Amino acid sequence: MSHLAFDARQTTAWDSGLVTFVLRVLRAKWRRELPADRAGLPDGVRRLIAMAEAVPEPTNRAHRRRGLSGLARLGTSAITTAAAVQGGLAFLGESLLALGALVRRRARFRISDLLLVVQECGPRRSAS
């Protein structure tokens, strides 16, 4: 096989399953270093594939840490945990400050915005 080409001319409807399948095929193709012709894919699929490939895949932390010594793994874990705790405490602090402003009646927001958020979070009737 010298290259990979897609032919979806007879495809009238598609969903995310097609995008997932194409991504898997492209990843397998990439491992074999084959060129791929995407012109036969629907425009929407090509755009979604381009967006998916623009974002780097998350790396497996366990895989990254294998080459590190025990002390380096411990340090990396401590730094990661400290950053997570710091983020959680910052969120908690900002939430408490906002709650204090609300209780003192110094919070600035429109009641209509609050009611809209409450409505969107509540149950909805189906249109059909």
Q: Which residue did the predictor score with more confidence, 72 or 55?
A: 72
Checking if the pLDDT of 64 tops 60, the result is no
Checking if the pLDDT of 81 tops 90, the result is yes
Checking if the pLDDT of 63 tops 60, the result is no
pLDDT in tens, 93-110: 998 998 899 899 888 878
Pairing of strands 4-5, 36-37: parallel
49, two tokens: 């594939």
Checking if the pLDDT of 34 tops 80, the result is no
Checking if the pLDDT of 89 tops 90, the result is yes
Domain assignments of the chain as residue spans, ordered by start: 4-54, 69-121
CB atoms within 10 A of CB 22: 21
CA angle 124/125/128 to nearest 5° reads 140
